[in-house]
Structure 1
Amino acid sequence: MHILLTGGTGLIGRALCRHWVAQGQQLTVWSRTPERVASLCGAQVRGIGRLDELAEEPLDALVNLAGAPIADRPWTSKRKALLWASRITLTEQLLSWLEGRTQKPRVLLSGSAVGWYGDGGERELRESATPVSEDFASQLCAAWEETAQRAATLGMRVVLVRTGLVLANDGGFLKRLLPPFKLGLGGPIGNGRQWMSWVHLADQIALIDFLLKQESAQGPYNACAPQPVRNAEFTRALGRVLRRPAFLPVPAVVLRLALGELSGLLLGGQRVLPARLSEAGFSFRFSTLDSALNDLLGRH
């Protein structure tokens, strides 16, 4: 299978490349830095800087995961424009390119996030739910999904992966938390009652591979472990596995002053359930937070 991947040099993309190279798949990564693709993704992975480098080379699947990190810095107007361009504008470029191709991939698997639902409060959120609020993150995810869905008019199967907090030991959300927690300075965010929907990186890779190859899979899928937890519970679990105290809270008012609108992403949350993945027969290796953290951080 020849797979074209965007976002291939990111945390999930690199892991996907390792997974698919081991399977013997043919991989091409569209990147702003194609010269770095082989070193980051594997010597067998081809990097391209322009889509027209593929010409009419046959493609079986397109996996679109590109997007600037949403929680790295406050949402200024400039940052919002970058977040939008790196998702929606890039996906529009892909669609325009696909429209001009004679041969088209059978499937587009496109990224999204649980932020699509907005701050869900106590509601259990399955794929059939409608957005609870329309903050910037929700609007961003909605526009990303709507743009990707247009590939269906080209005869392609479209899968939308609404990812939660990806837990990995070499990047992402968890890596940013480790320094203060290792020093015993970790603690809940705000009142700690907001829900956190998470997924172990190994399960994220497995479910993407599963949905890509499942011919009946289409539409949105919640990419989260079946047991979301409250922020306070997450904090206690991380403290346990690191054998450090974790009781120093980050006051909501401090976050709002420091991060502005972005603080809503941390003070709110989603209680998301992977209903459609379960119905399709996918099984999570790490369904509890303790099992995931012990696998990733037990040696610490």
Structure 2
Amino acid sequence: MRIGVTGGTGFIGKHLTRNFLRQNHKVCILTRKPDSYQSDHKNLEYIGWSVDSINELVDKLEGMDVFINLAGESINNGRWTEQQKERIIKTRIQVTDTLMKLFSELYDRPKLFINASAVGYYGTSLKQTFIENDLSTSGDFLAKTVQKWEKHASKAENLGIRTVYTRFGIVLDKQEGALPKMVLPYKLFVGGKVGTGKQWLSWIHIKDVVNLIDFIIHNGEFEGAVNFTTPFPLQMNEFGKTIGEVLSRPHYLPAPSFALKMMLGEMSTLVLDGQKVLPNKAQQLGFKFEFPTLRETLMDIYRIK
């Protein structure tokens, strides 16, 4: 199988690439800085690209079985100034629109297009539970960003390509993503409740991210939005307590909302607000989570028996 990836050198992209190579698939990673990467694997190729290089890419990308778009400015890179928010949106839309132009030029288009998305689509709530059929009525920054991103990616459907939007919750991994920052206070013996502690955290183990994407590739029934979250989301206080219990650290020192808002500004919504999101479609179509509970996830990540 030939698989193309944008954002393939990022957190999720690296895990996916390793998985695809283990399965002997051929992986083409599109990057703006191909000279920064060297492949010592016969099935891995780094291809330079930009918004102006569509014609040069057509021949190289003919006959892809799957294309996965993970590219976009991280939402965790500093305070959300107006300039940063514009960059978060612009990088996602530019890459996606360029891919749509590229796909339209291909004679043999990908059979499947997987576009990254996020549970931020639904907005925040303490009381609601969200599944894929729920429409967003939120006007906050993250919701509007994801809504716009999915709308631009939906052009692939008009080209006859099976299209999936991976609405990621918080992806947990030992080295990258949010977990190392969440665990650090506990390692320093100063962990505790964040904000009210009542906000919901919808999360997923990085291994289940890889497994579910693999499952989607081989199951043609998947189309549209797919929630990448565990069946057992937790409120933040319970999430923190579980970290403390698994790592044998206390959970006692609160981080008040006002302090986080002063420190992080609008970006504080990432830790002070949340949404309870369930993987309805994945479960209906037969996917089995390897790490459904937080305790199982943390024990695997930190090699605790």
Interval of TM-score (by shorter of Structure 1 and Structure 2): over 0.9
3-state DSSP class of the match of 1:3?
A: strand
Measure how far apart 1:42 and its partner are. Answer: 5.5
- Asked whether the equivalents of residues 38 and 45 of structure 1 are also in contact (C-alpha less than 8 Å), the reply is no
3-state DSSP class of the match of 2:115?
A: strand
Match of 1:46 in 2: 45
- Asked whether the equivalents of residues 65 and 111 of structure 2 are also in contact (C-alpha less than 8 Å), the reply is yes
3-state DSSP class of the match of 1:16?
A: helix
Change (3 A) 1:205 1:262: same
3-state DSSP class of the match of 2:154?
A: helix
| Aligned: 1:8 with 2:11 | no
User: Residue type of the partner of 1:45?
Assistant: L
Q: Distance between the aligned counterparts of 1:43 and 1:198, measured in 2?
A: 34
| Aligned: 1:254 with 2:253 | no
- Asked whether the equivalents of residues 37 and 46 of structure 1 are also in contact (C-alpha less than 8 Å), the reply is no
Match of 2:178 in 1: 173
- Asked whether the equivalents of residues 241 and 297 of structure 1 are also in contact (C-alpha less than 8 Å), the reply is no
- Asked whether the equivalents of residues 9 and 37 of structure 1 are also in contact (C-alpha less than 8 Å), the reply is no
Measure how far apart 1:246 and its partner are. Answer: 2.1
Q: Distance between the aligned counterparts of 1:38 and 1:13, measured in 2?
A: 16
3-state DSSP class of the match of 2:143?
A: helix
Match of 2:24 in 1: 24
3-state DSSP class of the match of 1:133?
A: coil
Measure how far apart 1:299 and its partner are. Answer: 4.5
Q: Distance between the aligned counterparts of 2:184 and 2:43, measured in 1?
A: 34
Counterpart of 2:281 (choices 262, 276, 285) is 276
Report the TM-score, using the length of structure 1 for normalisation.
0.95
Report the TM-score, using the length of structure 2 for normalisation.
0.93
User: Residue type of the partner of 1:49?
Assistant: G
3-state DSSP class of the match of 1:235?
A: helix
Q: Distance between the aligned counterparts of 1:55 and 1:67, measured in 2?
A: 22
Measure how far apart 1:150 and its partner are. Answer: 0.9
What stretches of structure 2 of length at least 5 have no aligned partner?
none
> How many residues of Structure 1 are paired with residues of Structure 2 in the alignment?
299
In terms of mean alpha carbon deviation, does 286-295 or 84-93 score higher? 84-93
Match of 1:191 in 2: 196
Match of 2:162 in 1: 157
Q: Distance between the aligned counterparts of 2:88 and 2:104, measured in 1?
A: 24
What stretches of structure 1 of length at least 5 have no aligned partner?
none
- Asked whether the equivalents of residues 196 and 269 of structure 1 are also in contact (C-alpha less than 8 Å), the reply is yes
Q: Distance between the aligned counterparts of 2:172 and 2:70, measured in 1?
A: 17
Q: Distance between the aligned counterparts of 1:36 and 1:17, measured in 2?
A: 17
% identity of equivalent residues: 36
Q: Distance between the aligned counterparts of 1:45 and 1:290, measured in 2?
A: 35
| Residue deviations 1:199-227 (CA, integer Å, cap 9, x gap) | 00100000011112211210001000100
Q: Distance between the aligned counterparts of 2:274 and 2:184, measured in 1?
A: 23
